Amino acid sequence: MFIKSTNYIAGHTKLSQCPKDQRPEFAFLGRSNVGKSSLINMLCERNKLAKVSQTPGKTRLINYFLINENWYLIDLPGIGYAKVSKSQRADWEKMINSYLTQRKTLQVVFYLIDSRLKPQKNDLEFINWMGANHVPFVLVFTKADKPKPRELSQNIKTFKKTMLETWEDLPEIFITSANKKQGREEILNYIHSLLQEIVPEEN
């Protein structure tokens, strides 16, 4: 898919404020500092579209970007940043949970995982929560330029193995590097293929 236009529309704190135009939505989510802003910028070929955060976890909004006048890229706030209060975290969790479970136009969540790390308990917990709540998701291993190739494949292999302890099937998996522009075509083609499958609802 060719990205012709990207426009920041708005940041919302409530599901009720989100657009009502029924355009399909593709959401990006992961722990703070996972490389989400860098990935979004890389996908859209815009250096500062999503801010590469100086202070991790600062974004607290459901951010809407309109792509090609056709679909929304949703930048969700980073999960699990330690320096927020319990009540802030609870508010955020409520917002994200209602968005993920109730937003009818959400097509799929791109759940980002730092490829340098061994499987993290909170990533696995979040993934299991999405599964239990029927939230469709795929996995994106970020920063793939960082680990050595062997370590990268080992980390991904271990992640898959751990998931298969509780899951019957594995989701779609993408491997990306914002620095090397790796995985861009694959993700955009995947979004394109899902867009092709959407049959407009009759009024």
- Is 6 or 105 the residue whose CB approaches ligand GDP more closely? 6
Taking the complex as a whole, how short is the minimal distance between the CB of residue 188 and ligand GDP, in angstroms?
A: 16
Taking the complex as a whole, how short is the minimal distance between the CB of residue 156 and ligand GDP, in angstroms?
A: 15
What residues are paired with 65 via a beta bridge?
Answer: 8, 73
Taking the complex as a whole, how short is the minimal distance between the CB of residue 56 and ligand GDP, in angstroms?
A: 5
β-pairing, 25-30 with 62-67? unpaired
- Is 23 or 146 the residue whose CB approaches ligand GDP more closely? 146
- Is 24 or 56 the residue whose CB approaches ligand GDP more closely? 56
Determine phi and psi for 74, rounding to 5 degrees. Answer: -110, 125
Separation between Cα atoms, residue 146 and residue 152, nearest integer Å: 8
Tokens of 24: 């399909």
Separation between Cα atoms, residue 166 and residue 164, nearest integer Å: 5
- Is 34 or 43 the residue whose CB approaches ligand GDP more closely? 34
What H or E segment, with its residue span, contains residue 189? helix 184-197
Separation between Cα atoms, residue 192 and residue 121, nearest integer Å: 32
Would you tell me which residues interact with ligand GDP (CB under 6 A)? 30, 32-38, 52-53, 56, 78, 142-143, 145-146, 177-179
Taking the complex as a whole, how short is the minimal distance between the CB of residue 140 and ligand GDP, in angstroms?
A: 11
